[in-house]
Every structure is written in C-alpha cells, then in structure tokens.
A = this chain, B = another copy of it.
Amino acid sequence: MSKYLVLQTDFGLSDGAVSAMHGVAYTVSNEIVVQDLTHDIPPYDIWAASYRLLQTVSYWPKGTVFVSVVDPGVGSDRRSIVCKTKSGHFIITPDNGTLTHIAHFQGIDEVRVINEVVSRLPHSEESHTFHGRDIYAYNGARLACGEVSFNELGEIVSCETVEKLEIEKSSIKNGIISGNIDVLDIRFGSLWTNIPLSLVKENHIVHGDYLQVSIYHGTKRVYQNIVKFSKSFADVNIGEPLVYVNSLVNIGVAVNQDSFSRLYHIGTGIDWKMELRKAAKIIFE
C-alpha cells in the first residue's frame, strides 16, 4: 500500500530547495510517494497556506502526511507541531496559524510538539534556516513510512494551544447574507467567500435567482450589481458576472471567461466583505 507525503511551501520551484526536501524524504524511505500541494504560497502568507490545506487535505487518502512550511519565524521559539485531523490525515507545520482553517472547518483530534533538537536530519545542526528540509520533510517522511508513529513524534499538547488566525463568520440579518472574501481563485480571478451554500439554501435562494451583490472594502462599498445565481459559468454569457458554488461548496463570484478580481479591483482578506440579498422581482422588458 502506498504511503503519501504531500509538501506545501512558499519556496517556489526555481531553485533546488523543494527537490532537496523530496530527496531527504526518499532517503528516509523508498517506500513512500512524495507529492506536492503547492510551493507557490506567497512568501510568509500563513493565511494562504492554511486555506490551501483546507482546499486539498480531505481529497487525499486517509493517513496521508502533509508538510506545510510557510515559516516567517524559522529559528524563533515558535513550536513545530504535528496534528491528526478528524478526517484522518496528518499535518506537520510550524505552529503559526497554518492550521487555522483545518481546525475551524474540519477539526483536529490531537496535537503533538516535535523536538527540533532530537528529531532532525543527521548532520544538519549548522544550518538554522532550512527547517523545511532538516526538520519538516525529514519527520514527515519518518511518519509517512512508519519509522515513527504519531505518538512517538512528540509530547501531546492541548488543541487549544494551537496558534490560530482570526476567522470571520458568515451571518444573516434582515435577509442580507454577509460574509468575508477569503481567497482568490488565482488563475481565473474568481473570488471565494466564507458563505456556505447551506446558508444560502436556508434562505430559499435557488439556482436561477437574481441576487444583489455588494462588496465592501472596509466601510466603503466598491461594487454593487444584480447577478444571477448560476449553476455554472456556462449559464451566463461570456463577460457576464455570476454567483456560483465553488469547489469547497461555498459561494463565489466570477465573470465568465474573465477576471472578476481584476475587472472590479477586488481584493481578499479581512477588509473585504460581501453581502448578498435576493432580488424580489426583476422584470426584463
């Protein structure tokens, strides 16, 4: 049975860093399969690292070990941790907020702290700046191949002690659904919110309905339009906006074959909010 180790970093693929991580993992064991989530997390962007884990982890076989290294605090006293998720996957990462979305939306069963002095690539003591290779890939491979068990990797600590970033919650008030614009679908320029389809359904909004979409940057409204809640991009004309259900079953907005983000200068993060309101009646002449 194959055992998977999946790596995520902000290192890019233009030098040898990621390949050295793969090499270390395969040196630990030639019975594992080493794969990549992405290595294009914007430098130091812990929020993005956390979100991309949410987008990906549950689609891999149970038991898969993920290593995520977006680590602005490398060499500080931030902890290295390994967690077991409720979905049956493992994640090894600096304890800096990278587990925020997984903890919130999928749940964590148990967390352990890795001893960076003992559990590291032999003869790597002189370099203190490449924990991705010397600690994370190394221990990820040991866990993936069964050389160490989850329990042996470190002392258990309370899940409550895990560092978390602030997460906005979606809500509804007076028929207006409010949420946060969490992340950009980079390649296509679509915007993904934290509003789950379930919240939309509860408010009797169905595919084909027209919604008033308002977007706020801080307190300033920067976009407002009537947009069709569409099953998929092909339901609207090329160049036309749509509200849709994204691959995480949350609400997104897009423009068919163009970039909503670029066209309307919309960003992502806790300063960017979206409101949805069902249009009672639209008369097309």
Give A contacts to B, CB under 8 Å: 1-2, 4, 6, 10-20, 22-24, 26-27, 30-31, 33-40, 43-44, 52-53, 55-56, 59-61, 64, 72-76, 78, 126-130, 133-134, 185-188, 197, 231-235, 244-249, 252, 257
Contact = CB atoms under 8 A, between A and B. Distances in A.
A65 to B, nearest CB: 13
Given A22-B35, A73-B234, A232-B74, A129 B246 contact: yes
Q: Which residue of A22, A27, A128 has the most chain B CB atoms within 10 A of its CB atom?
A: A128
A129 B244 contact: yes
B129 A245 contact: yes
Contacts of A27: 59-61
13 contacts: A4-B26, A10-B187, A20-B247, A26-B33, A27-B61, A43-B187, A74-B234, A76-B232, A78-B234, A126-B197, A126-B245, A127-B248, A129-B252
Given A16-B56, A22-B60, A133-B247, 4 more contacts: A6-B19, A34-B35, A72-B257, A127-B247
A232 B23 contact: no
B55 A38 contact: no
Nearest to A44: B257
B55 A16 contact: yes
Contacts of A127: 245-249
Determine how many copies of this chain the complex contains: 3
A18 B24 CA distance: 23
Given A24-B59, A36-B19, A129-B233, A187 B247 contact: no
Contacts of A39: 13
Contact of A55 (B17, B78, B129): B17
A277 to B, nearest CB: 22
Contacts of A233: 72-75, 129
B16 A38 contact: yes
A231 B19 contact: no
